Structure 1
Amino acid sequence: MTSDVADEAPKSPLWLDDIRPGTSGEGFLEKNLRNSLLFVKRPSDRLLITFDNLANVGDERPEREPWAFKFASDEGLSHLGVMAHVSDWYRDEALIERFQSLARDGFFDGYKRVIFAGVSMGGYAALAFSSLVPGAHVLAFTPQSTLNPDLVPWETRYENGRRQDWTLPLSDAAELTATAGRVNIFYDPYHEPDQQHVDRLSGDNIRIFKCWFSKHKTAVFLRKIDALKPVMSHAIFDELEEGEFYRLYRKRRNLPWYRGSVSGYFRDTGREELATQFDKMFRRRMRRKKRKAEEAAEKTATLAATTAETDKAAAKAPAKPAAKPEASPAKPAKANAKTAAEPAKPKRREKPEHDCHIIAPLNAGGKAPAKQGKGSRLIVTTMKNEGPFMLEWVAYNRAIGFTDFLIYTNDCDDGTDQIGDRLQELGVVQHRVNPFKKGDDGPQRVALRASHREDVFKNADWLLCADCDEFLNIRVGKGRLDDLFAAVGDADAISLCWKLFGNSGNIAYEDALITEKFDYALGETEYPHFRSLGLKTLVRNNDKFNRLRIHRPAFHLDRGDIKWVDGGGQPMPDSYLDGGWRAPVGVSHDFARLHHYAVRSVESFLVKRDRGRTNHIDDDQGMDYWSSMNFNTTRDTSIHARLPGLRRELKKLLKDPELNRLHTEACTWHRAKIKELLARDGWSEFRDEIIKVNAAPVFENC
Structure 2
Amino acid sequence: MALAALAILGKKYTVQREGRHWQFRLPGYTIEFFLRSTDTLVVTFDPRRKSYPPSATREAWAAVFLARRGLSGLHVKPDQSCWYLDPGLETFFRDAQAAGLFGSFATVMNYGGSMGGFGALAFAAITGARRVLAMNPQVNLGPEVRGWERRYKDAEALDWTRPICDLGLQVAGVETLAVVFDPYDTYDRPQADLIAADHMIRLHIPFVGHRMPAHLLSLRLLAPVFDQTLTGSLDLPAFYRTARQRRMLLRYKRVMLRRTKENKPRHRRLKRLLPEDDALIGPA
CA contact under 8 A between 1:44 and 1:76: conserved in structure 2? no
Query: In the alignment, which of 160, 180, 185 is matched to residue 179 of structure 2?
Result: 185
Change (3 A) 1:62 1:109: closer
Equivalent of 1:219, from 213, 219, 222? 213
2: CA distance between counterparts of 1:34 and 1:205?
A: 33
Give a deviation string over 1:78-98, Cα, whole Å, max 9, x none.
000000111111111110011
2:269 aligned partner, one-letter code: Q
- On the 8 A contact 2:181/2:204 being kept in 1, the answer is yes
**Structure 1 residue aligned with 2:226:** 232
Question: CA 1:150 to 1:61, structure 2 compared with 1: closer, same or farther past 3 Å?
Answer: closer
Q: What is aligned with 1:204?
A: 198
Equivalences for residues 161-310 of structure 1 within 5 A: 161-267=155-261, 270-283=262-275
Q: Report the TM-score, using the length of structure 1 for normalisation.
A: 0.36
Q: Matched residues in 1 for 2:129 and 2:76: separation?
A: 20
1:127 is the counterpart of 2:121: yes
Aligned-partner Cα distance in 2 for 1:218–1:208: 13
Show the 5 A alignment for 1:373-388. none
Q: What is the alpha-carbon distance in structure 1 between the residues aligned to residue 251 and residue 233 of structure 2?
A: 28
Q: Which amino acid aligns with 1:52?
A: D
Q: What is the CA deviation profile of residues 404-439 of structure 1, one whole-angstrom value per residue up to 9, with x for unaligned ones?
A: xxxxxxxxxxxxxxxxxxxxxxxxxxxxxxxxxxxx
Alignment correspondent of 1:39: 33
User: Hey, what's the Cα distance between the residues in 1 that align with 2:203 and 2:185?
Assistant: 14
SS in 2 for 1:144: coil
CA distance in structure 2 between the partners assigned to 1:131 and 1:57 by the alignment: 30
Instruction: Output aligned runs, 1:649-668, within 5 Å.
Output: none
How far the C-alpha of 1:242 sits from its partner, in A, is: 1.1
Query: How far does residue 257 in structure 1 lie from its aligned partner after superposition?
Result: 2.4
| Distance across 2 between alignment mates of 1:62 and 1:148 | 30
Partner of 1:466: none
> Once the two structures are superposed, what CA deviation does each residue of 1:13-39 show, in whole Å capped at 9, x if it has no partner?
xxxxxx854xxx424111233111000
Residue type at the aligned position of 1:89 = W
Q: Name segments (4+ residues, structure 1) moved above 6 Å.
A: none
| Alpha-carbon distance in 2 for matches of 1:278, 1:198 | 29
Q: Give the 3-state SS of the residue equivalent to 2:179 in structure 1.
A: strand
- The offset of 1:169, in angstroms, is 3.6
Structure 1 segment 369-518 matched on structure 2, within 5 A: none
Amino acid at match of 2:266: L
SS in 1 for 2:119: helix
Say if 1:61 and 1:197 are closer, same or farther in 2 by CA, change over 3 A: closer
* Counterpart for residue 110 of structure 1: 104
Q: 2:74 aligns with which of 69, 76, 80?
A: 80
Q: Is the 8 A contact 1:149 1:155 kept in 2?
A: no
1:142/1:54 Cα in 2 relative to 1: closer, same or farther (>3 Å)?
same
Name the structure 1 match of 2:133: 139
Relative to structure 1, is the Cα distance of residues 137 and 61 closer, same or farther in structure 2, using a 3 angstrom cutoff? closer
Is the contact between residue 41 and residue 71 of structure 2 (CA under 8 Å) also seen in structure 1? yes
- Give 5+ residue unaligned stretches, structure 1: 1-18, 290-702
Matched-pair identity in %:
28
- The answer to whether the 8 Å contact 1:37/1:80 transfers is yes
Residues 44, 111 of structure 2: 8 Å contact kept: yes
- C-alpha contact (below 8 Å) 2:207/2:255 kept by paired residues: yes
Larger-Rg structure: 1
State the distance in 1 between where 2:234 and 2:124 align. Answer: 19
Distance 2:239 2:50 in 1: 27
Distance 1:63 1:88 in 2: 19
Q: Residues 41 and 175 (structure 1 numbering): CA distance in 2 closer, same or farther, change over 3 Å?
A: same
Matched, 1:89 2:83: yes
- The answer to whether the 8 Å contact 1:146/1:173 transfers is no
**Which stretch of structure 1 is more off in the superposition, 57-66 or 79-88?**
57-66
Deviations 1:302-336 (A, max 9, x none): xxxxxxxxxxxxxxxxxxxxxxxxxxxxxxxxxxx
Cα distance 1:133–1:62, how it changes in 2: closer, same or farther (>3 A)?
Answer: closer
Q: What do you get for the CA RMSD once the two structures are aligned?
A: 2.4
Give the unaligned 5+ runs of structure 2: 1-15
Q: Secondary structure in 2 aligned to 1:54?
A: coil
2:179–2:202 Cα contact (<8 Å) kept? yes
- State the one-letter code of the partner of 2:133: L
Higher relative contact order (CA 8 A, sep 6+): 2
Letter in 1 for 2:166: D
Q: State the Cα deviation string for residues 489-544 of structure 1 (Å, max 9, x = none).
A: xxxxxxxxxxxxxxxxxxxxxxxxxxxxxxxxxxxxxxxxxxxxxxxxxxxxxxxx
Question: Structure 2 counterpart of 1:123, which letter?
Answer: G
> What is the CA–CA distance in structure 2 between the aligned matches of 1:135 and 1:87, rounded to whole Å?
24
The Cα of 1:75 is off from its aligned counterpart by 0.6
Deviation at 1:44, TM superposition (A): 4.6
State the Cα distance separating 1:234 from its structure 2 match: 1.8
- Please give the alpha-carbon distance, in whole angstroms, between the structure 2 residues aligned to 1:273 and 1:187: 28
Residue pair 2:83, 2:116 contacting (<8 A) in 1 also: yes
CA distance in 2, matches of 1:69, 1:78: 9
Amino acid at match of 2:85: R
What is the CA-CA distance between 1:198 and the residue it aligns to? 1.5
What is the distance in 1 between the residues matched to 2:238 and 2:224?
Answer: 10
Structure 1 residue 190 displacement after superposition: 1.1
The number of residues matched between the two structures is 264
User: Residue 175 of structure 1: CA displacement?
Assistant: 4.1
| 1-structure distance, mates of 2:59, 2:188 | 27
Of stretches 215-224 and 60-69 in structure 1, the one that deviates more from structure 2 is: 60-69
Alpha carbons of structure 1 residues 168 and 57: separation in structure 2 relative to 1, 3 Å:
farther
**Residue type at the aligned position of 1:242:** L
Q: Deviations over 1:171-211 (max 9, x none)?
A: 23244322222110001111121111121223332000011
Whole-angstrom CA distance in 2 between matches of 1:181 and 1:59: 35
d(CA) in 1 for partners of 2:264, 2:55: 44
Name the residue aligned to 2:8.
none
Q: For the Cα contact (< 8 Å) 1:93–1:168, is it kept in 2?
A: no
Given candidates 81, 92, 98, the residue that maps to 2:92 is 98
Give the 3-state SS of the residue equivalent to 1:55 in structure 2. coil
- TM-score with structure 2 length normalisation? 0.85
Q: Deviations over 1:217-246 (max 9, x none)?
A: 211111122221222122123422211211
